[in-house]
Structure formats: C-alpha cells, structure tokens
Amino acid sequence: MARITRPSPTPNHSPRKASGLADVPERIAVVGGGAWGTALAISAARAGRSTTLWVREADLAQRMRTTRENDVFLPGHRLPPHVTVHEALGDAVRGADAALLVVPSQHLRATCKALARVAPKKLPLVICAKGIEHTSGLLMAQVVEQCLPDHPLAVLSGPTFASEVAQGQPTAVTLASEDAASDQEHSLAARLAAALGTPTFRPYVTDDLRGVEVGGAVKNVLAIASGIAQGLGFGANARAALITRGLEEVRQLTLALGGRSDTVYGLAGLGDLSLTCSSEQSRNMRFGMGLAAGRSELDIFDGRPVVVEGRDNVVPVTDLARRLEVEMPICEAVRAVVAEGAPIGDVMVQLLSRPFRAEARGLSLQIAQPDQPVEMRL
C-alpha cells in the first residue's frame, strides 16, 4: 500500500505558520474521544498543532494516557507524544485556540451546555458532528448557536474514514465558515485549513454551512439504504442508481434550506455520499446490510459500542423534509424500515413501483408503471 510520510513534530515543536495568514490556531482541542475524534487529534498533531483530546469515559482516558491508544473506538493507532488526553472538559479546552466538536449528533446539545461553562470566551468552534437534532429538527450549527451564541463557528465534513485519516492516507475535506465569502484569505475556515492541513489531509474552503451540513446528515441515511440493497443481493447498477437519486434528495433539501448546488456536488455532498454508500467500512452501510440479513445491531458490530448516525437521524431528516415539502423517497423508505418496523421486502416493492419520472426538473412528467408484479429475490 502506498504511504506518504513526513517527519513528526517534536514535543517542543514550533507551530507551522501559513504564508499570508495571521492568527492561525496553534492549540487545538478535540472534544470527543470516539474513532473520528481520536483520528482528528492524531491528524492535528501531525499538522504540527499542540493538541488536547477530551474523552468522556474516565477509565478509557486513563488507559489512553498509559497505552497511547484508543483501544475501544480506534484500536491499532498510537497517539503522538504531544496529544494530551483529559477526562475533564475544562482541562481539555483551557488555552485552546479552536475546539473541534466531535460527539454524536444527538449528544451535541448536552456537550455544548457543558462547554458553555468552561470554554474560553469567543473560542472558535468547529462542528464535526453530522446530523439533525431529533427533538428540535435543527442542524448542528443551529444547536451550537443556541448554546454558545458568541463563538465563531465552522463546519468540517467530507469523505473520511477515521482509520485512514489516522494512518495518514490521502484525504480531502470541506471546511465551511460564513466569513469565507467576505474575507476569503483570513476567514475562520481558511485559518483552520492552514492549521489542520497537511500533504495528506487537504481542506477545501467554502462559505456554505447549510449545504455542508445537509450533505453530512442525509448521506448516513442513504448509506443504510445502500447497505440494505447490497444485503438483498442487488448489484452495481442498483448502487449507482441509489447514489445518483440519493444525491438529488440531498440537493433538494439543501436548496430548500438555502444551501447551494455546487456544495452538493463537492466533497461534503457527492464525495461523502459515494464513500459511505460504497464501502463496508461505513458503519451505516454495514448496519443496512445487517438489517437485510435479519441481524441485531449487537450482532452486526460484534458487540462493540458503535454510533449509527443514519439510524439516529432518519426520523429528523424526513421530518424536516416533510415540513419543507421536499420529496425524499429513499430516505422515507429507510425510515419505514428502521423507525416504523415495515418489512424490507414490502418497502422495496413500494419504492420500485413508483411512477417513472422525468430526470430534468423542468419537466413534470410522471408515467404510471405497467400493472405487473415487482420480482425480487429476497
């Protein structure tokens, strides 16, 4: 396997300055010690940043300080020497120049409430969670804005598997902040890109927070659909159709929320969707495959604690779409199976029996299907 390596900074390293940029964050706090949070801490340290990592589980934090490995969520990847692990949130964010929020989407509000008591004033916050809050129907940035209104916000998303980022394999992500439109070179997203970027971790900057967030929330639901399709024995044709039509569902919801189509066709949209719908490394895709095989969640993941964001977000995603009158048939099918207990075979027949439609949005064509049964091997 090809591997690009670069020297690791020493513990007393000098922070790497980016040409033409001032106020590049030097001290990064990562709030959340799951697989993705641990990988981002490793990557930030690789970029030359002094990095702290907050791990909620005190026993795990203690082991990580001793073994330098997250044996629960990201085994096999050692923490660099200058990543410090804390179980106290206040210790993790003290003195930080920016904090990456890497907790499950449905736990973000509780984490932000705790953070409000200990975070430095105006600490920039980078949302790395993907989803829509179940109780409020708010996107993650809206949740953070409610809890921490005086903090600059950015969103980090894109096609990433934690293990590959931890290994230092080439990865590209999107960093979004609203000031990127008015002050491109000195925006929060640009400064974060300078702080976190390396030859193998390449951030691209945008000002479209809504588009980036919608792509991250919906792709997990669509990945469950992709897993179900694979578990039923469907082939590459079905996966290509699902990704393409699923991307249209992402686009319609993005536009309804004020986002842009170019974001949907970028890393945070098409890139993330194609990755998570095409690899069994995706927890959401594996979950869908397990559902198709009639397996329990514990059995699917060999008894390990795993967050399946698509399962947790399918109801808030489809509730939001319904309120905005956005048609999302694939996501609705996943909701019927995951949240409403509908038989997978029945749902697939209903989905495949939908009228034929025009692909171009300028056409309102709708053709009823011939009166014949849908044949599938289930």
Which residues belong to the active site? 219
| Residue 309 annotated in ligand binding | yes
**Nearest in space to 122 (alpha carbons), one of 149, 142, 146:** 149
| Backbone φ and ψ of 30, nearest 5° | -105, 115
| Residue 307 annotated in ligand binding | yes
| Residue 240 annotated in ligand binding | no
| Residue 87 annotated in ligand binding | no
| Residue 237 annotated in ligand binding | no
| Residue 122 annotated in ligand binding | no
Cβ atoms of residues 168 and 3 within 8 Å: yes
| Residue 207 annotated in ligand binding | no
| Residue 12 annotated in ligand binding | no
Cβ contacts of 179-184, under 8 Å, gap ≥ 24: 179/152, 179/207, 180/205, 180/206, 180/207, 181/207
| Residue 284 annotated in ligand binding | yes
Q: Cα(277)–Cα(119) distance, rounded to whole angstroms?
A: 36
| Residue 57 annotated in ligand binding | no
| Residue 72 annotated in ligand binding | no
| Residue 160 annotated in ligand binding | yes
The string over 257-279, giving b where at least 16 C-beta atoms fall within 10 Å of a residue's C-beta and e elsewhere, is: bebbeebbbbbbbbbbbbbbbbe
Tokens of 36: 């993705």
Residues with Cβ within 8 Å of residue 112, at least 6 apart in sequence: 101, 143, 144, 147, 148
Per the annotation, binding residues are 36, 56, 130, 158, 160, 162, 219, 272, 282-284, 307, 309
Per the annotation, binding residues for NADPH are 36, 56, 130, 162, 283, 307, 309
Per the annotation, binding residues for sn-glycerol 3-phosphate are 130, 158, 160, 219, 272, 282-284
